[in-house]
Structure 1
């Protein structure tokens, strides 16, 4: 009876020992950080962000594209506008730094360049321009 119990006991204890020493247990996943910005770690950062209008004026057009592109691309608001006090959410198509541009309904524009979309979750439109945080 004792000879059968020892191998069984070894099988029961073995998975716990392997998980603790191999780094494959649950404790090894929750503690991995992605650095301060996460840029350059493909597929590992959240490129989602919100654009919040705190300028007191309606934003007529919104553009953003990777900084490496020479054009602004399409107006991300389309037929919509972004009134004061409102926000909208987007996801950048890549982890590369992005440039942002808004145009208010009076034609005035503001730009913000080389924003790390891995480190920023909010683009705030203010009376003095754009701010990333």
Structure 2
């Protein structure tokens, strides 16, 4: 991507998992550490959309992990190219443990 797009890597995350999210982590796919929770004290309700800042354009491939409010279970989406997206809709089927994401 060109330098003109470097500052425009922020994205909107949409929670369509069916559950409220307590924590969101974003980490380069090649790393094993998650870093800090991106929500802080905020709770991310099902159906809600939230804008996230993303400036690590040297590491576009990122993993996203969420922790749900109701039972503190964790789910992960891998290898999402955040430099090429404006919106990510997270989906989760708890009974089958299947994750998917609509990428725009």
**TM-score interval for Structure 1 and Structure 2 normalised by the shorter chain:** 0.7 to 0.9
Aligned partners of 1:67, 1:42: CA distance in 2, in Å? 22
Using the size of structure 2 for normalisation, the TM-score is 0.77
In terms of fraction of residues, the more strand-rich structure is 2
Q: Over alpha carbons, which structure has the higher Rg?
A: 1
Residue 81 of structure 1: SS of its match in structure 2? coil
Q: In the alignment, does 2:83 pair up with 1:113?
A: no
Unaligned runs of 5+ in 1: 1-37
Q: 1:44, 1:127 → 2: CA distance?
A: 31
Residue in 2 aligned with 1:73?
35
Could you tell me whether the CA contact under 8 Å between 2:91 and 2:100 is conserved in 1?
Answer: yes
* The one of 86, 90, 100 aligned to 2:64: 100
Residues in 1 aligned to 2:25 and 2:51: alpha-carbon distance in whole angstroms: 13
More deviation in 44-53 or 73-82?
A: 44-53
Q: Over aligned residue pairs, what C-alpha RMSD do you find?
A: 1.8
Give the alignment's TM-score, normalised by structure 1: 0.62
The ranges of structure 1 where at least 4 consecutive aligned residues each deviate by more than 6 angstroms after the TM superposition are none
Residue 16 of structure 1: aligned partner: none
Residue 81 of structure 1, CA deviation: 0.8
Q: Which structure 2 residue ranges, 5 or more long, are not aligned? A: 94-98
How much has 1:44 moved relative to structure 2?
3.0
Aligned residues: 94
Structure holding more helix per residue:
1
